[in-house]
């Protein structure tokens, strides 16, 4: 099997595989064709590795990115048609890059973000980085980013918001500037116990209105003014035991009415 020649190329060690591709296209399926195909893939792997290196430090290991880039290279080799006249590099670079970006979109987002917003994120990120070198050290404005990226300000805002959605921060992560182990979960609110009181009060209101006036007064004095049964009995001129029976009877009746309505 002849060794693939190397020529002057934007990628220094990229091979001249025009002849190999012509031979590949002429061979039927079989071991010889597969050998030529593997030679072409191996010859272009350095370029695929360099393309993968452009995406390092974005939350994925370089080795995994190289594997994704290699997959994109194989797809490019299989789909390339030398009869169309375009150089393989012009076809392979966007194919490999697209495969890497697709990997990030499909596997690396920990929050579900629509594909359109993911694309906006990439354009906004590129515009932000480019503008950061030309606006005097300050952060680019939304209008500047939108103009640079060729999108509306609403789209730029969506892209900026998506920049913070690529990975999720653990609730156990310690908050910046704290030294006492205070985490995000400590900052979260919880159910307000007073809500249960509101629900109970609203459930009881119509039943209270249906009670005789004396029973309403007794319940008001006991539960809203926090008076003791003996004090209520003294104010109303009745025995404490009678007050206790009335309170118990009223509460039991309202409880039964409420449970009956819930079950209905």
DSSP class of residue 210?
Answer: T
Domain boundaries, the chain: 18-108, 115-187, 193-263
Q: What is the mean pLDDT of residues 33-52?
A: 91
Question: Within 13 A of 211's CA, how many CA atoms are on the CB side?
Answer: 22
Range 193-263: architecture per CATH: Orthogonal Bundle (1.10)
CA–CA distance, 261 with 221 (Å, rounded to integer): 27
Asked if 18-108 and 193-263 have one fold, the answer is no
Answer whether residue 85 shows pLDDT above 70: yes
Q: What is the pLDDT of residue 55?
A: 84
Q: What is the pLDDT of residues 46-64, one digit of tens each?
A: 999 999 888 887 767 888 8
Average pLDDT, the chain: 80
**Six-digit token string for 150:** 């060729």
Q: What is the mean pLDDT of residues 107-118?
A: 64
Q: What is the pLDDT of residue 46?
A: 92
Q: What is the pLDDT of residue 7?
A: 41
Residue 199 in 3-state DSSP? Answer: helix
CATH 1.20.1640.10 fits 18-108, yes or no: no
Mean pLDDT: which of 128-132, 194-198, 220-224, 244-248 is highest? 244-248
Answer whether residue 168 shows pLDDT above 60: no
Answer whether residue 166 shows pLDDT above 90: no
Answer whether residue 249 shows pLDDT above 70: yes
CA–CA distance, 180 with 230 (Å, rounded to integer): 51
Catalogue the long-range contacts made by 245-248 (C-beta closer than 8 Å, 24 or more residues apart).
246/214, 246/215, 246/218, 247/218, 247/219, 247/222
CA–CA distance, 254 with 264 (Å, rounded to integer): 15
């Amino acid at each position: 099997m002849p060794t693939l020649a190397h020529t002057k190329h934007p990628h220094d060690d990229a091979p001249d595989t025009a002849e190999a591709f012509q031979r590949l296209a002429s061979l039927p399926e079989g071991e010889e064709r597969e050998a030529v195909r593997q030679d072409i893939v191996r010859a272009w792997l350095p370029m695929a590795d360099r393309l993968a290196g452009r995406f390092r430090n974005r939350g994925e290991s370089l080795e995994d990115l190289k594997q994704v880039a290699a997959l994109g290279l194989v797809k490019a080799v299989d789909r390339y048609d030398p009869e169309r006249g375009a150089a393989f590099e012009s076809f392979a670079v966007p194919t490999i890059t697209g495969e890497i970006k697709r990997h990030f979109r499909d596997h690396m987002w920990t929050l579900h973000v629509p594909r359109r917003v993911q694309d906006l994120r990439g354009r906004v990120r590129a515009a932000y980085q480019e503008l950061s070198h030309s606006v005097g050290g300050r952060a680019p404005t939304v209008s500047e980013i939108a103009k640079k990226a060729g999108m509306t300000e609403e789209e730029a805002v969506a892209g900026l918001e998506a920049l913070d959605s690529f990975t999720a921060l653990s609730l156990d992560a310690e908050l910046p500037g704290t030294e006492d182990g205070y985490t995000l979960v400590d900052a979260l609110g919880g159910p307000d116990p007073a809500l249960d009181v509101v629900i109970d009060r609203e459930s009881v209101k119509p039943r209270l209105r249906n009670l005789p006036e004396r029973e309403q007064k007794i319940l008001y004095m006991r539960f809203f003014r926090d008076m003791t049964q003996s004090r209520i009995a003294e104010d109303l001129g009745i025995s404490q035991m009678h007050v206790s029976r009335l309170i118990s009877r009223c509460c039991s009746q309202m409880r039964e009415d409420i449970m009956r309505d819930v079950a209905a």
